[in-house]
Amino acid sequence: MTRISPVGATLAVSGVDKTFTMHLQDGKQLPVLRGVSFDVHAGECVVLGGTSGAGKSSILKMVYGNYAADRGSVVVNVGEPVDIAAADPRQVLAARREAMGYVSQFLRCVPRVPAIHVVAEPLVERGVSIDEALDRAAALLTRLAIPARLWSLPPATFSGGEQQRVNIARGFITELPLLLLDEPTASLDARNRDVVVELIADKRARGVAMLGIFHDAEVRERVADRVIDVELFAPVLEATA
Amino acid sequence: MSTALPGYNVGYLDEQTKRMIRRALLKAVAIPGFQVPFASREVPMPRGWGTGGVQVTASIIGGDDVLKVIDQGADDTTNAVSIRSFFAKVTGASTTTCTEDATIIQTRHRIPEAVLREGQIMVYQVPIPEPLRFLEPREAETRRMHALEEYGLIYVKLYEDIAKYGHIATTYAYPVMVNGRYLMDPSPTPSFDNPKLHQSPALHLYGAGREKRIYAVPPYTDVVSLGFEDHPFEPQRFEQPCAVCGSTGVYLDEIITDDAGGVMYACSDTDHCERAAALASAHIDDLEEARA
Amino acid sequence: MTLEQLHFEPDRRPLLEVRGAGHSYGERYGCRDVSFELWPGEVLAVVGESGSGKSTLLGMLSQRLKLSEGSVRYRLGDGDVVELSELSESRVRRLWRTEWGFVHQNAADGLRMHVSAGGNVGEPLMATGWRHYGKIRAAAAEWLARVEIPADRIDDAPATFSGGMRQRLQIARNLVVSPRLVFMDEPTSGLDVSVQARLLDLIRSLVAELGLAVVIVTHDLAVARLISHRTLVMKDGRVVESGLTDRVLDDPQAAYTQLLVSSILQG
The pLDDT value recorded for residue B287 is 77
Q: Write out pLDDT tens, residues C90-116.
A: 999 999 999 999 999 999 999 999 999
What letter would DSSP give residue A150? G
Annotated catalytic residue within B33, B73, B207, B209: B33
Determine phi and psi for C105, rounding to 5 degrees. -60, -45
Inter-chain CB proximity B229 and C123 less than 8 Å: no
How far apart, in whole angstroms, are the C-alpha atoms of residue C126 and residue B152? 5
The pLDDT value recorded for residue C5 is 35
Which of the residues A66, A70, A84, A130 would you substitute to probe the C interface, choosing the one with the greatest number of C C-beta atoms within 10 Å?
A66
Inter-chain CB proximity C247 and A110 less than 8 Å: no
Which of B223, B244, B278 is a domain's end point? B223
Residue A109's pLDDT band (cuts 50, 70, 90): low
**Set of chain C residues whose Cβ sits within 8 Å of the Cβ of A89:** 229-230, 243-244, 247
Count the domains in chain B: 2
Inter-chain CB proximity B228 and C89 less than 8 Å: no
Chains contacting C (3 or more CB pairs within 8 Å): A, B
Give yes or no: residues B190 and B268 share one domain. no
Residue B33 a catalytic site member: yes
**Set of chain C residues whose Cβ sits within 8 Å of the Cβ of B155:** 126, 131
- Tell me, yes or no, whether B112 lies in a domain: yes
The pLDDT value recorded for residue A7 is 59
Residue B98 a catalytic site member: no
- Tell me, yes or no, whether B104 lies in a domain: yes
- Tell me, yes or no, whether B159 lies in a domain: no
**Set of chain C residues whose Cβ sits within 8 Å of the Cβ of A65:** 244, 246-247
Give yes or no: residues B72 and B23 share one domain. yes
Chains contacting A (3 or more CB pairs within 8 Å): C
Q: Are B112 and B70 in contact (CB under 8 A)?
A: yes
Residues of chain C with pLDDT under 70: 1-11, 265-267
How far apart, in whole angstroms, are the C-alpha atoms of residue A220 and residue A226? 10
Q: Which of C42, C200, C244 faces A65 most closely, judged by CB atoms?
A: C244
Examine the pLDDT at A5 and tell me if it is beyond 50.
no
Examine the pLDDT at B252 and tell me if it is beyond 70.
yes
The pLDDT value recorded for residue C266 is 56
How far apart, in whole angstroms, are the C-alpha atoms of residue A172 and residue A192? 14
Residue B230 vs residues A124, B164, B166, C115, C133: alpha-carbon distances, Å: 40, 16, 12, 21, 6
Encode burial over A89-105: b for 16+ CB neighbours within 10 A, e otherwise.
Answer: bbbbbebbbbbbbbbbe
Give the closest residue to B205 by CA, choosing from B73, B77, B60, B81. B60
- Tell me, yes or no, whether B65 lies in a domain: yes
Inter-chain CB proximity A111 and C201 less than 8 Å: yes
Q: Which of C197, C229, C247 faces A66 most closely, judged by CB atoms?
A: C247
- Tell me, yes or no, whether B239 lies in a domain: no
Instruction: For residues A117-127, give the mean pLDDT.
Output: 90
Inter-chain CB proximity C123 and B144 less than 8 Å: no
Q: Are B133 and B170 in contact (CB under 8 A)?
A: no
Give yes or no: residues B95 and B187 share one domain. yes
- Tell me, yes or no, whether B81 lies in a domain: yes
Give yes or no: residues B190 and B98 share one domain. yes
Comparing C19 with A105, which gets the higher pLDDT? C19
- Tell me, yes or no, whether B167 lies in a domain: no
Give yes or no: residues B100 and B190 share one domain. yes
Residue B245 a catalytic site member: yes
The verdict on ipTM greater than 0.85 is: yes
The pLDDT value recorded for residue C202 is 86
Give yes or no: residues B216 and B264 share one domain. no
Quote the percentage of chain A above a pLDDT of 90: 74
Give yes or no: residues B208 and B267 share one domain. no
Inter-chain CB proximity C154 and B162 less than 8 Å: no
Give the closest residue to B112 by CA, choosing from B125, B103, B100, B128. B100
**Set of chain B residues whose Cβ sits within 8 Å of the Cβ of C118:** 159, 163
The pLDDT value recorded for residue C189 is 86
The pLDDT value recorded for residue C16 is 96
CATH number at residue B85: 3.40.50.11310
Q: Write out pLDDT tens, residues B3-12.
A: 667 888 888 9
Annotated catalytic residue within B98, B227, B245, B261: B245
**Structural domain range at position B23:** 15-128+183-223
Q: Write out pLDDT tens, residues B21-66.
A: 999 999 999 999 999 999 999 988 887 788 999 999 999 999 899 9
Give yes or no: residues B287 and B211 share one domain. no
Q: Are C133 and C141 in contact (CB under 8 A)?
A: no
Q: Write out pLDDT tens, residues A64-90.
A: 999 999 999 999 999 889 999 999 999
The pLDDT value recorded for residue C56 is 94
Give yes or no: residues B193 and B270 share one domain. no
Q: Which of A21, A67, A90 faces C247 most closely, judged by CB atoms?
A: A67
Q: Which of B150, B164, B229 faces C131 most closely, judged by CB atoms?
A: B229
Give yes or no: residues B201 and B262 share one domain. no
- Tell me, yes or no, whether B196 lies in a domain: yes
Give yes or no: residues B111 and B54 share one domain. yes
Q: Write out pLDDT tens, residues B85-134.
A: 999 999 989 999 999 999 999 999 899 999 999 999 999 999 999 999 98
Q: Which of A23, A24, A66 faces C250 most closely, judged by CB atoms?
A: A66
Quote the percentage of chain B above a pLDDT of 70: 98
Inter-chain CB proximity C259 and A93 less than 8 Å: no
**Set of chain A residues whose Cβ sits within 8 Å of the Cβ of C230:** 89
Instruction: For residues B187-214, give the mean pLDDT.
Output: 95
Give yes or no: residues B257 and B192 share one domain. no
